[in-house]
């Protein structure tokens, strides 16, 4: 089959399959995918940044455009619901705005996460790359959007001073935890969505529902007297929003939320890892 | 160490929305791979029983009719598809050149596209920065390199893509046919660069219908038919069997 006797020794000496796990469904390949994806951060870092620039290309306001559009929505909602619920604007507007910008990050990760491999079908079929590359790019893109929108928070905190303390530093680990959760949700929903195309629309409906069940435009504190309010705690997104919103607004840190988020992170990551191990190699076939 | 080892590898595509399960194999089997209808989800056996071992220095031509499985085999070798049956072990950095346009963003400038294309092909930022002047000079695009890609004509885009693709240092170079939609003068210039690229590569696998191109770049050949390897040997013999006449002799006579 192969030509040339001089190469016979080459083929005979080493069994190529001895060192390489030839089973596509292996932990080694799953972790190798994650590691290789991370090592290509020059690529997905640049692409994620291009995704942002895309949004304000040929616009007059430039990157400010992203922050302003978010700011307008936050202000409108804050004033509207503030009037409806008789809330003090000085407190409520920053509350709504911060909640919204955290929600945008979570929502972006969940919605775009479910479609991440479907949207990158061309790249997946033409260029061999770890599938986690697309996951990193998505989370990075959402992070950049969040940072753009953080300008709103900064503005509001200056105009309506909040009781900030050293706890504001907790925002950094809180955001990192959010990022990790964004990643495992993207892996899990992305892989399943390539196989079952109903998943993205179902997820879209669920997240719409989640928005109203999460205390963003309404205050959880206000409704604590209502016995049904405890059910709000069943909404996992509520805890994610709280761990980042509390430090950003100088509110009291409720550690219960961190524990819930920690548990979700561990369980979710484990499930996503199993899914990655089993179906990583199938994504190119399913997409 | 650079190597490609495929051991009884197979690539089966699941077809999820195929409504009819009673497709006759004979009807579609002529052009493509075999269609299996035994399992619940119909599958297409694009490749089956592929056993190939390639080592550094090999220059392999890939021939066969359309639908024989050449592109699928290239994708299997590049790692895009992991085999559904059998095993594949690929060692070395793979540079797949299947579609010149993939990864190009029409909204950003030619220079930025050069960077991105290079990153996609496995180069680092530093490597691309050092090569960009050389690529820019080769493409002869001048000031257009600052313009967004969408202002380019097709020929210009191909020149840009060719420029990037021929500047990399691949350990395994996989070329799919259809990379030549440029004017003749530029093609002559590109041919030299392509030859240099191949000389730098560890392994070359080149799928093409052009006998001259294959004769110039390859010394062995694989003949694919209906998803399997029909023959794998020296270029002259395989081409002669595939075409039915000694093609190499004809080319040499010219």
ipTM of predicted assembly, 2 dp: 0.83
**What mean pLDDT is predicted for residues B29-56?**
74
Query: What is each CA distance from B67 to A218, B30, B82, in whole angstroms?
Result: 60, 9, 20
Measured CA to CA, the distance from residue A128 to residue B101 in angstroms comes to 15
pLDDT for residue A104? 93
pLDDT (tens place) for every residue of chain A, 287 residues total: 444 444 444 444 567 676 665 677 888 889 999 999 999 999 999 999 999 888 888 788 887 888 888 889 888 988 888 888 888 888 889 999 999 999 999 999 999 999 999 999 989 998 889 999 999 999 999 999 999 899 889 999 999 988 888 889 999 999 999 999 999 999 999 999 998 888 999 999 999 999 999 999 888 887 777 887 788 889 999 999 999 999 999 888 899 999 999 999 999 999 999 999 999 999 999 98
A window 41-60, beta carbon within 8 A of B: 42-43, 46-47, 50, 54, 57
Q: What is the pLDDT of residues A161-203, one digit of tens each?
A: 888 888 899 999 999 999 999 999 999 999 999 988 889 999 9
Measured CA to CA, the distance from residue B26 to residue B81 in angstroms comes to 26
Question: Does B159 contact A at CB distance below 8 Å?
Answer: no
pLDDT for residue B35? 56
Tokens of B186: 């530029």
A18: closest chain B residue by CA: B89
For testing contact with chain B, the best of A126, A282, A284 (most B CBs within 10 A): A126
**CA-angle at B86, arms to B82 and B92, nearest 5°:** 50
pLDDT for residue A22? 66
Q: What is the pLDDT of residues A250-274, one digit of tens each?
A: 888 899 999 999 999 999 999 999 9
Question: What's the sign of the alpha-carbon dihedral B108, B112, B95, A139?
Answer: negative
A125: closest chain B residue by CA: B80
Q: How many residues does chain B have?
A: 254
- pLDDT grade, residue B161 (50/70/90)? confident
Measured CA to CA, the distance from residue A283 to residue A186 in angstroms comes to 13
B125: closest chain A residue by CA: A42
pTM over 0.95: no
Name the one residue in this structure whose structure tokens are 């989370």: A139
- CB distance A107 to A207 below 8 Å: yes
HEC profile of chain A: CCCCHHHHHHHHHCCHHHHCCCCCCCHHHHHHHHHHHHHCHHHHHHHHHHHHHHHCCCCCCCCHHHHHHHHHHHHHHHHHHHHHCCCCHHHHHHHHHHHHHHHHHHHHHHHHHHCHHHHCHHHHHHCCCCCHHHHHHHHHHHHHHHHHHHHHHHHHHHHCCCCCCHHHHHHHHHHHHHHHHHHHHHHHHHHHHHHCCCHHHHHHHHHHHHHHHCCCCCCCCHHHHCHHHHHHHHCHHHHHHHHHHHHHCCCCCCHHHHHHHHHHHHHHHHHHHHHHHHHHHHHHHHC
For testing contact with chain A, the best of B6, B53, B82, B112 (most A CBs within 10 A): B82
pLDDT for residue B183? 59
Question: Does B61 contact A at CB distance below 8 Å?
Answer: no
């Amino acid at each position: 089959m192969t030509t040339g006797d001089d190469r016979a020794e080459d083929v005979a000496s080493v069994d190529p399959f001895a060192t390489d796990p030839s089973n596509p469904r292996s932990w080694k390949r799953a972790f190798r995918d994650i590691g290789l994806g991370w090592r290509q951060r020059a690529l997905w870092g640049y692409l994620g940044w291009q995704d942002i620039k895309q949004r304000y290309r040929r616009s007059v306001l430039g990157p400010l455009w992203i922050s302003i559009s978010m700011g307008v929505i936050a202000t409108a909602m804050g004033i509207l619901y503030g009037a409806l619920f008789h809330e003090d604007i000085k407190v409520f507007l920053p509350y709504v705005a911060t909640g919204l910008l955290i929600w945008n990050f979570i929502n972006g990760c969940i919605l775009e996460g479910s479609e991440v491999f479907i949207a990158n079908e061309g790249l997946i079929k033409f260029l061999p790359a770890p599938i986690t590359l697309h996951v990193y790019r998505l989370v990075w893109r959402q992070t950049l959007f969040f940072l753009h929108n953080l300008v709103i928070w900064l503005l509001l905190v200056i105009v309506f001073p909040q009781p900030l303390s050293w706890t504001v530093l907790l925002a950094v680990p809180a955001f990192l935890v959010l990022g990790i959760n964004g990643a495992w949700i993207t892996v899990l929903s992305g892989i399943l969505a390539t196989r079952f195309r109903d998943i993205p629309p179902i997820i879209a409906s669920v997240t719409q529902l989640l928005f109203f069940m999460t205390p963003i435009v309404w205050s959880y504190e206000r409704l604590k007297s209502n016995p049904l309010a405890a059910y709000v705690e069943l909404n996992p997104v509520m805890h994610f929003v709280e761990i980042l919103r509390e430090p950003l607004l100088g509110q009291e840190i409720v550690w219960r939320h961190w524990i819930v988020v920690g548990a979700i992170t561990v369980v979710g990551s484990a499930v996503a890892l199993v899914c990655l191990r089993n179906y990583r190699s199938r994504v190119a076939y399913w997409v | 160490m650079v190597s490609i080892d495929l051991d009884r590898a197979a690539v089966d595509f699941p077809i999820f929305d195929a409504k009819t399960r009673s497709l006759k194999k004979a009807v579609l089997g002529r052009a493509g791979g075999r269609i299996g209808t035994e399992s619940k989800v119909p599958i297409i056996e694009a490749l089956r029983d592929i056993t190939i071992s390639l080592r550094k220095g090999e220059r392999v031509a890939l021939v066969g009719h359309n639908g024989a499985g050449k592109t699928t085999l290239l994708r299997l070798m590049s790692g895009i598809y992991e085999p559904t049956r059998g095993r594949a072990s690929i060692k070395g950095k793979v540079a797949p050149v299947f579609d010149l346009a993939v990864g190009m963003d029409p909204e950003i400038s030619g220079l930025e596209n050069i960077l991105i294309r290079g990153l996609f092909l496995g180069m680092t930022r530093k490597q691309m920065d050092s090569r960009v002047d050389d690529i820019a000079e080769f493409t002869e695009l001048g000031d257009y390199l600052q313009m967004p890609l969408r202002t380019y004509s097709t020929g210009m885009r191909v020149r840009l893509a060719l420029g990037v693709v021929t500047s990399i240092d691949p350990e395994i170079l996989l070329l799919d046919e259809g990379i030549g939609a440029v004017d003749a003068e530029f093609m002559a210039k590109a041919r030299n660069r392509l030859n240099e690229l191949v000389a730098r590569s560890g392994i070359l696998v080149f799928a093409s219908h052009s006998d001259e191109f294959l004769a110039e770049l390859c010394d062995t050949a694989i003949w694919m038919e209906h998803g399997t390897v029909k023959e794998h040997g020296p270029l002259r013999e395989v081409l002669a069997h595939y075409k039915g006449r000694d093609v190499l002799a004809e080319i040499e006579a010219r």
